[in-house]
Amino acid sequence: MKDSKLIVTAFDWVPGFAQGYVRDLRVRWALGEAGFSYDVEVIPQGKQKTPAHLKRQPLGQIPTLDIDGRIMVESGAILWRIAETSTALLPDDAATRDRVLSWVFAALNTLEPPVGMLATLELFVNDKDAAARLRPKIAAMVTGVLGRLVATLGEGPHIVGNFSVADILLTTVLLDVPDDLLTDRPSLRAYVDRHTGRPAFQKALAGQMKPFAENAAKYERAS
């Protein structure tokens, strides 16, 4: 993949609450850590369901990764493929690699769904009374997983051995966790701060935010 032509799709703009959280951030970060150069194709907001994009991403989502004309979808799958072809994001020994893969799935399948439910309640459910009734149950699901994550992490800087693709996915999911659920978990706060302080993350974030700033006026006029 290092010598391939890589193109990441991303939005040209999203509302403020989503800026810095769109999942192309994960892909940009992983590519940066791997040392792979790539181009970005920005898609106008609202155009992700056009036939051209649906042809490469049948669900009309962002991001995709074009690898020499071969399209990959789903950020978790994309990150694993990047990690497999890099020397920076996976350990060499099979046993530790299996643990990393397990935490990749834990981030995507166990932690991210209830965290996403909390975001949905806060941002997209108009019946605020109903949202308030549901939030404690979903928050309890999240805090249960966070507690087990704290116990596993201990004092270690990374979830498994050295920095890996699992840390990228866990960090980007933890960024979506409401502050009130992280207040009493300083080790997780430090974990997030440690990884978002990495140069590759900062470069990825700046790259995602740049078109948002450049196109904001266009969308403000249209609203």
CA distance 182 to 34: 29
Domains of the chain (ranges; CATH) run: 6-88+200-222 (3.40.30.10), 94-162+164-197 (1.20.1050.10)
pLDDT number for residue 221: 82
Percentage with pLDDT > 70 across the chain:
100
Mean pLDDT of the region 146-173: 97
Pinpoint the alpha helices (H) of 35-127: 51-56, 75-84, 94-105, 112-123
N-terminal to C-terminal alpha carbon distance within the chain? 41
223 confidence band (pLDDT: 50, 70, 90):
low
Mean pLDDT of the region 11-24: 97
Q: Tokens at residue 178, please? A: 């409401």
* Residues pairing with 40 in the sheet: 8
CA distance 164 to 151: 19
Tell me: the pLDDT tens digits for 95-118?
999 999 999 999 999 999 999 999
215 confidence band (pLDDT: 50, 70, 90):
very high
pLDDT at 222 over 80: no
220 confidence band (pLDDT: 50, 70, 90):
confident
Q: Are 138 and 120 within 8 A, CB to CB? A: no
Tell me: the pLDDT tens digits for 59-91?
999 999 999 999 999 999 999 999 999 999 999
* Average pLDDT of the residues of the chain: 96
Would the pTM count as exceeding 0.75?
yes
